[in-house]
């Protein structure tokens, strides 16, 4: 068997395991890996797993049980748009990551809201976009926050000057808001997500 064919075989096996994990959300057992890879012997699976551990595709936790490695991170990260698409050989070296891990720090305090209205268009937040809001973080000046002003909820830049607070839209057609009464801040916008199709 040629080197390329062996590489391809290994790759398809990794793909099979990744698919299994994607589909079920749990790691396959050794026998199941055997079925996926077409191996009858658990020893063969053992050797395969060892190899995948070295490649960081899989890992082990403190108790020696199989945990996902790079297969848990679905997106391959490349460089910049200008760099374009590297060759397949380079692609393998690229880092992989999970969007959940990238964007969510505190899962219990994080919510997703759909944006309505165009008051933040200037900041690249369009109506229909989704924003992740963290209730736990303390809002700093310059943050985009979700706040309740005089009974209505909006999303605006927060500006603090001394002890005065202003809510600044990112659209010149709207005016800054200087809340008269209390200002309830629901959370800090930590990320924006837009889906095209």
Residues lying near DNA in the complex (CB under 7 A) are found at: 1-3, 6, 9, 29-32, 39-49, 51, 64-66
Query: To the nearest whole angstrom, how small is the minimum distance from the Cβ of residue 33 to DNA?
Result: 8
Whichever of 48 and 155 has its CB closer to DNA, that residue is 48
Does 87 participate in catalysis according to the annotation?
Answer: no
Whichever of 33 and 146 has its CB closer to its own copies, that residue is 146
Distances (CA, A) of 101 to 43, 67, 74, 75, 96: 34, 16, 11, 11, 11
- Which of its own copies, DNA, none does residue 6 bind to, with CB < 5 to 8 Å depending on kind? DNA
What sign does the dihedral 99-101-104-107 (CA atoms) show?
positive
- CA gap 191, 134 in Å, rounded: 9
What is the enclosing helix (H) or strand (E) of 96?
strand 96-97
Does 119 participate in catalysis according to the annotation?
Answer: yes
- Which of its own copies, DNA, none does residue 189 bind to, with CB < 5 to 8 Å depending on kind? its own copies
- Report residue 172 as tokens: 């010149």
Whichever of 63 and 180 has its CB closer to DNA, that residue is 63
Query: To the nearest whole angstrom, how small is the minimum distance from the Cβ of residue 23 to its own copies?
Result: 9
- CA gap 62, 107 in Å, rounded: 24
The SS3 call for residue 11 is helix
Q: Which residue of the set 119, 141, 175, 195 is catalytic?
A: 119
Query: To the nearest whole angstrom, how small is the minimum distance from the Cβ of residue 179 to its own copies?
Result: 15
- Active-site residue set: 119, 156
């Amino acid at each position: 068997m040629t080197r390329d064919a062996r590489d391809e075989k290994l790759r398809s096996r990794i793909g099979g395991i990744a698919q299994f994990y994607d589909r079920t959300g749990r790691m396959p057992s050794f026998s199941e890996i055997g079925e996926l890879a077409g191996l009858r012997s658990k020893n063969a699976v053992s050797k395969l797993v060892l190899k995948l551990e070295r490649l960081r595709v899989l890992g082990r936790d403190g108790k020696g049980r199989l945990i996902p490695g790079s297969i848990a991170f679905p997106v391959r990260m490349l460089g910049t748009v200008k760099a374009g698409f590297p060759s397949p050989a380079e692609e393998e070296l690229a880092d992989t990551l999970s969007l959940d891990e990238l964007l969510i720090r505190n899962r219990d305090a994080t919510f997703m809201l759909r944006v309505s209205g165009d008051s933040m268009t200037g900041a690249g937040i369009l109506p229909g976009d989704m924003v992740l809001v963290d209730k736990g973080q303390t809002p700093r000046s310059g943050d985009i926050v979700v706040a309740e002003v005089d009974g209505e909820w909006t999303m605006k830049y927060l500006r603090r000057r001394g002890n005065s607070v202003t809510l600044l839209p990112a659209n010149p057609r709207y005016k800054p808001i200087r809340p008269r009464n209390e200002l309830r801040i629901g959370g800090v916008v930590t990320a924006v997500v837009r889906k095209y199709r």
